Amino acid sequence: MPYNQISIAHVDGLCSALRERMKFSVREAKTFAKKRRTVKELLDIYQAYNNLIDARQRRTPCMKEGIVTKIWSWSDLLHKRISILR
């Protein structure tokens, strides 16, 4: 989405989804994430789930962008060999 089309509704929607789905961020409890690295890793998992698995209207965001051609399963995601370029 182009930067100039992002509205407060998009940001608020993301924050709401994170609060609902990632309970570690709500309050300090047994599941409270204590390290920044842990929070980053959990957000990475949520991002992969949102972009590859969670299909709204039978398409994921990665399908809309033409990156993948099918909805992935958790098995597809966890067994995929990923090369990281740094």
Task: For the beta carbon of residue 56, count every other beta carbon within 10 angstroms.
Answer: 9
Tell me phi and psi for residue 59, to 5 degrees: -145, 140
Please report how many Cα atoms fall inside a 13 Å half-sphere around the Cα of residue 5, on the Cβ side. 2
Query: In b/e form, how buried is each residue of 22-38, taking b as 16+ CB within 10 angstroms?
Result: bebeeeeeeeebeeeee
**pTM for this one?**
0.65
Per-residue pLDDT of the chain (86 residues; tens, 9 = 90+): 677 887 888 778 777 877 777 766 555 556 666 677 877 888 888 889 889 998 888 999 899 999 999 999 999 988 887 776 55
